[in-house]
Chains A and B, each alone.
Chain A
Amino acid sequence: MSDYLVQFNNISKFFGKVIALKDVTMKLRKGEIMCLLGDNGAGKSTLIKTLAGVHKPDEGEIIVDGKKTIFDSPKDALDMGIATVYQDLALVSLMSVTRNFFMGREPLKGPPFFKIFDVKTANKIAAERMGQIGIDVRDPSQAVGTMSGGERQCLAISRAIYFGAKVLVLDEPTSALGVHQASVVLKYIVKAATQGLAVILITHNVHHAYPVGNSFTVLNRGKSLGTYEKKDISREKLLSMMAGGEELDKLEVELNEMNRVSNS
């Protein structure tokens, strides 16, 4: 009946009198990439934190695999397979690729009470996983600080997938990257989706979102302006919706008016 992997229905979140989110609905199938677009202050970070289990929604329901759930903590969300990759990536640049990859979830070996960090296995898995996304880690014990921004983003995503993510929530994965790096990351995101993950891609960059997204939700001042399939909406329409198209149109008219007055 419902073939959605995860549904967020009519989510609202209030901070005192401030309405941070109102009636936001998002549904994702396996292998789908939904892009969440919005300008600064549109409520993106509140929504991310709600998806990640940091905030509890005041209204609405979250349905994972057809079952209604409540996230009490980020760990709950993670246990349900919803992994959030924040903008800061949760990577420590002075630590090695391997140590970052397994940070907090280190593989152990040895007898009980004397278990040690299985560096050898960890190195192997980290190098393997990075290799799969086309990043040749010459030495998995090299510091993450030596990697480029795109590689770091890919490392964070690949880590989330390795530890069982079904739904990936990506917060502005391309905002700090150059054109080439951004395309590497986007390619990887599409690849992850084709392997059966659902991806929520949060961005303010329509040019990055449009080529990879299957559907688009535009957020403005805490409200959803609707969700559109790719075939139903053009890049230009999205751009103007995001920027608060009407307001800009009005501004243009006003500016023309002013020009005419000053010219005459």
Chain B
Amino acid sequence: MSTKSKSIKSKTDSNQDERLKKISNFKILLNRPELGALGGAILVFIFFGIVAGDTGMFSAYGILNFLDVSANLGIIAIAAAMLMIGGEFDLSIGSMIGFAGICIAIPAIYWGWPLWMSIIFAFSMAVLVGYFNGILVVRTGLPSFIVTLAMLFILRGATLALTRLITGRTQVPGLRVLIENDPIAWIFASDSFKWVFTWLGSMNLITLRTDGSPLATGIPPSVIWFIALTILSTWILMKTRYGNWIFASGGDKNGANNVGVPVGRVKISLFIGTAVAATIFATIQVLDAGSADTMRGTLKELEAIAAAVVGGCLLTGGYGSAIGAAFGAIIFGTVSMGIFYTDVDTDWFKVFLGAMMLIAVIFNNYIRRKVTESK
């Protein structure tokens, strides 16, 4: 960045350059789609710092609590954001979560598969569902809103029907015992950096249980996944050819096609991405709860899209960021947990969610006009 502005500086005369440079720095800042979400997240933390600062919200346990909720939402929000930048929606994320859950639980409990095989099976099904969504949207040219809305009902219905057919009920418990000694379940089920918390506990810096172990035992797997996916997605968007293709596919499908971007393949891969993210979400939750529920993930697709929108994604595609979606998820997660620490009735959370999204859309729309304004 610095070398670039230097080389430009040498071209123009110094008087004019000072003025131009300021404008362009300001524009660069406005250019970032995640600006709004970052500001929102800071406001949220200031608000709860004032209102709930002396409650347990900002203890190690409290922080991990709202981070866990944020991270779970964030995992699907980032994938939804990538797809939205690519110009499409996936409304079947929530149903995919429920479907993936029983894809793990039924083979493991009823068919006697080892847990790792069930998890791989669930991810294979996710790839299939995502591929099917994608190919349907690309081939038919129908709006993804309609195609994935159909998939929302089909998947949820199939999840319910198949589970009742095979098990006679709508929940499949009993997974917890299978986690131990499984070669891959730990990726989705074990806390990290336990030693840090043990050490903090031994130094009496964080709250301890009566038996002397720390209340917060480690970083939950969702948070690790969340951070990893944020970094990976941002790297893809900013630094790779595929990332440029995602922006191009969402920004102008025909234009991108005309210059040789494989728009169809890009979109299909992004649909696979949302289905896989939903399965990561499902695996973490199923292993954490020890049971699969056919209704798990209901309405999560809308929360994911809301977080992506708050994070600066345009509904028309071609613009947005993974970091923005991550901040969007942190805002929602923090408020949904933080509200318990205040005197406010938790019923108000949805009101906040809606209002936040509305403000974000208005703000983003304004920014987009600023960014693309002619000289």
Which A positions have Cβ atoms within 8 angstroms of B? 74-75, 78, 86, 88-95, 99, 102-106, 108, 115-117, 119, 123, 127, 131, 136, 138-143, 145-148
Contact = CB atoms under 8 A, between A and B. Distances in A.
Contacts of B375: 146-148
B4 interface: yes
Contact of B251 (A95, A102, A141): A95
Interface string B1-30: 000110010011000000010001001100
Given A91-B252, A116-B240, A138-B8, A104 B261 contact: yes
Given A99-B247, A102-B244, A142-B24, A136 B371 contact: no
The 10 closest A-B pairs by CB, nearest first: A145-B372, A92-B251, A90-B255, A104-B260, A104-B259, A106-B241, A104-B261, A90-B258, A94-B319, A92-B252
A102 B371 CA distance: 20
B1 to A, nearest CB: 9
A146 B319 CA distance: 15
Contacts of A145: 371-374
Nearest to B373: A146
B112 to A, nearest CB: 38
B254 interface: yes
A103 B28 contact: no
B255 to A, nearest CB: 4
B374 A116 contact: no
Given A103-B244, A116-B241, 13 more contacts: A92-B247, A94-B372, A95-B318, A99-B244, A102-B244, A103-B248, A104-B248, A116-B239, A117-B244, A119-B239, A136-B11, A138-B8, A141-B28
Contact of A115 (B12, B241, B256): B241
Interface residues of B, number: 36
B131 interface: no
Interface in B26-84: 27-28, 31
Contact of A146 (B240, B243, B372): B372
B332 interface: no
A104 B259 CA distance: 6
B24 A139 contact: yes
Contacts of A95: 247-248, 251, 318
- Could you say which of B240, B244, B375 has the most chain A C-beta atoms within 10 Å of its C-beta? B244
Contact of B245 (A104, A127, A143): A104
Interface in B241-275: 241, 243-245, 247-248, 251-252, 254-256, 258-261
B368 interface: yes
Contacts of A117: 239-241, 243-244
Contacts of B248: 92, 95, 99, 103-104
Contacts of B4: 123, 139-140
B260 A94 contact: no
A77 B28 CA distance: 38
Contacts of A102: 244
Contact of B241 (A78, A91, A108, A127): A108
B318 A105 contact: no
Contacts of B372: 93-94, 143, 145-146
A146 B368 contact: no
B258 A92 contact: no
A42 B31 CA distance: 43
A133 to B, nearest CB: 15
Contacts of B261: 103-104
Nearest to B27: A142
